[in-house]
Amino acid sequence: MKVTVAQSSGFCFGVKNAVAAAEEAVSNSAGGKLVMLGEIVHNGYVVDRLLQRGFTICETAEECPEKSVVIIRAHGVKPSDIAILKAKECEIRDMTCPFVSKIHKIVREHAENGMNIIIAGTKGHPEVTGILGEAEGTGVKTAVIKSPEDLENLDFPLSSAILVSQTTFSSEVFKDICKKAENQIAFKYLFDTICITTESRQKEAASLSGESDSMLVIGSSHSSNTTKLLDICKGRCARTFLVNSAEEAGRLIAEGKILPDERVGITAGASTPEAIILEVVQKMNEDENKKNENQNVDSEFANALDLLAQVRRGAIVKGTITSADSDFVYVDVHDKSEGRIARREFESDPDFDLDKAVAEHAEVTVKVRSIKNSDQGKEIILSKNDVEAEKGRAEIEEAFNSKTPIEVKITRTVKDGLIGTFKGIDVYIHRTQIKHGEVKDLDPYIGQTMEIRITKFDTEKGRLRISGSHRVIASEERAKKSAEVWDNIEEGKHYIGTVRSLVDFGAFIDIGGVDGLVHVSELSWSRNAKPSDVLKVGDQVEVYVKSFDKDTKKISLGYKRLEDDPYYNIEERMPLGCIVKGTVVRLTKFGAFVQLEPDLDALCHVSQISSERLDKPEDALHVGQEVQAQVTEIDPEKRRISISIKAVAPIDPVKSEEAAAEEAPAEEAPADGEEA
């Protein structure tokens, strides 16, 4: 693998000065409050290091504490921000890039003379915001454009304006904008304010990417100049990749996206530290170095690679586990003193066999947390988890940018949500993003593995905030299944569905991304059954399509089965003339309803109850009474059965003794001469 690094890679002049000023402020702080007004550079490695050394990040001048030391980053700020800081008696370290300061001066002078301002750049970028601040209060109009076509949408004439550029703007696009504007804007009002370093960096990237099989752009996706480099390289080399660490570069090799015999070009944004560039170069040449220790890297950084072996704070190094005690694990990191890792880091990893690692002197990759010199020697504090966390963070950021799902393990609940972990990084999942529908109890999710999509990756204000959603994935899967259902649906087709909800008029069943309605009349053959009597939410049921409308997206489903119909095969089960048993369940003026089977009632007319004429059925029967009868009529279509109790064993009314005496025949009187 031949690796070539563009000469104009890494920190530009302005960024290097700003970072150096921040480091100096740390050394001379004497315990004072140190503030970055916005991240000093679009690079997590640098920002995290400064945060660890006592800096805080404030997004606005209003947030900065009084009498604090405030570093103005290379992007610069609005004049009004400087005024606020002075009012707070802050010690201002203005590290605005000289190229940016030049633009501020141009805009300020022409705005005061009534000229409108056009900036070729990215709207909302800190540098652009600061430049626009020079026109505040002057009454002129401003516009931020990113293409020649945007000139057509201005609400003021070009003849009344000047044109400047963000320092990291694409030089090619700016030339196109100038070409379109030159006939309307006076030549003396077209200011090419693109940084010389930026232009050189872009030209080198264009040339190198055109000669390379693969191209690596090192930097953050949040960095304007890095994204410009990425666009330039992608236009000339199809296999261009954005990476922000050596680990990401290594994954490209492991996954076969970069091959050992390729020509690999490397460039880096102005926010990328030299140390990261060196680590990437070393990673790309790792395999070759094993084959040939004298392999030379085609890069101006080749001679500096030996520095990577030095143990320094924040460095990622490899070491050998030598021993362990109850508190620490000791690692030889090729320094005069051994480093140590808290034993709990290994105990929290169930897949790591510490005893075996000590016995075999296993190699481990660690991060140097701190180095202290004392009378007893050098004390080096290391961390294995920090390395995993950095890898996890990088993978999560990549998953966020590519919208690739990841799996997290749910470890605990918090207010209104869950916390899942991915390689030591916490991800917040709000209860509304767990699934469709309301989640009332979060505890059952603890310990489960959940596939999520990263919906938020926020590093603002020095804190990493990551949120994810399983519901997004479920919604997409549901949409795909829904399309399949509508493409293949037909009347009579059967599905295994899930009961999603119950309402008074029926049940909604999910048949695979689409909900259909089973009307209450289709749930049961029983006329009085309620949906909750038949089903419960979550049940798996077999349903079939009765009808559907693709325009209104409505599906009517059937659930009750023919064989469950009480009248199914009734003429065979209860032929005419057969004797049946039943229970009286209801009495009316015209007869009695007798339940022969559940949900199967037969009518015995009042004339078919008794051998005597009855005024009403209750003269002979009562509810709950068991009777025998003969089947006299069956009509399945009308769902009607008629029976006769009288044909089997008439049930006559029970008469009182007085009524019986009145109806008994009178005895004849004795004849004359006979004894009574």
- Residues with a known catalytic role: 127
Averaged pLDDT, 517-539: 84
168-180: per-residue pLDDT in tens? 888 888 888 988 8
- The residue ranking higher by pLDDT, 117 or 199, is 117
Q: Is it true that domain 403-468 has CATH number 3.30.1330.90?
A: no
User: Rounded distance, CA 382 to CA 367, Å?
Assistant: 6
User: Rounded distance, CA 312 to CA 334, Å?
Assistant: 12
Query: Is the per-residue pLDDT at 286 higher than 80?
Result: no
Residues with Cβ within 8 Å of residue 618, at least 6 apart in sequence? 587
Q: What is the architecture, at CATH level 2, of domain 316-383?
A: Beta Barrel (2.40)
Residue with tokens 């960024």: 15
pLDDT at res. 292: 43
Following CA atoms 30, 31, 33, 36 in sequence, which dihedral angle do they give, to the nearest 10 degrees? 70
pLDDT at res. 348: 67
Q: Which residues of 89-122 are buried (b: 16+ CB within 10 A; e: fewer)?
A: ebebbebbbebbebbbebbbebbeeebbbbbbbb
- CATH for 197-307 is 3.40.1010.20
pLDDT at res. 131: 94
Do the first three CATH levels of 403-468 and 573-654 match, i.e. the same topology? yes
- Locate 642 and state its tokens: 């008629």
Q: Which of 641, 643, 577 is nearest to 607 (CA)?
A: 643
- Locate 535 and state its tokens: 């089903």
- Locate 452 and state its tokens: 């999520």
pLDDT at res. 641: 93
pLDDT at res. 308: 39
Specify the fold of 98-194.
Cobalt-precorrin-4 Transmethylase; domain 1 (3.40.1010)
pTM: 0.40
Q: Is it true that domain 12-94 has CATH number 3.40.50.11270?
A: yes
Q: What is the architecture, at CATH level 2, of domain 489-560?
A: Beta Barrel (2.40)
Domains of the chain, residue spans? 12-94, 98-194, 197-307, 316-383, 403-468, 489-560, 573-654
Question: Could you give the count of Cα atoms lying within 13 Å of 361 in the half-sphere of its Cβ?
Answer: 5
86-100: per-residue pLDDT in tens? 999 999 988 888 888
Q: What angle do CA 290, 291, 295 make, to 5 degrees?
A: 90
Mean pLDDT of the chain: 84
Q: In the chain, what percentage of residues exceed pLDDT 90?
A: 32
Q: Which of 474, 533, 545, 477 is nearest to 509 (CA)?
A: 545
- CATH for 573-654 is 2.40.50.140
pLDDT at res. 672: 52
Query: Is the per-residue pLDDT at 144 higher than 90?
Result: yes
User: Rounded distance, CA 437 to CA 510, Å?
Assistant: 13
User: Rounded distance, CA 567 to CA 574, Å?
Assistant: 10
The span from the first CA to the last CA of the chain, in angstroms, equals 144
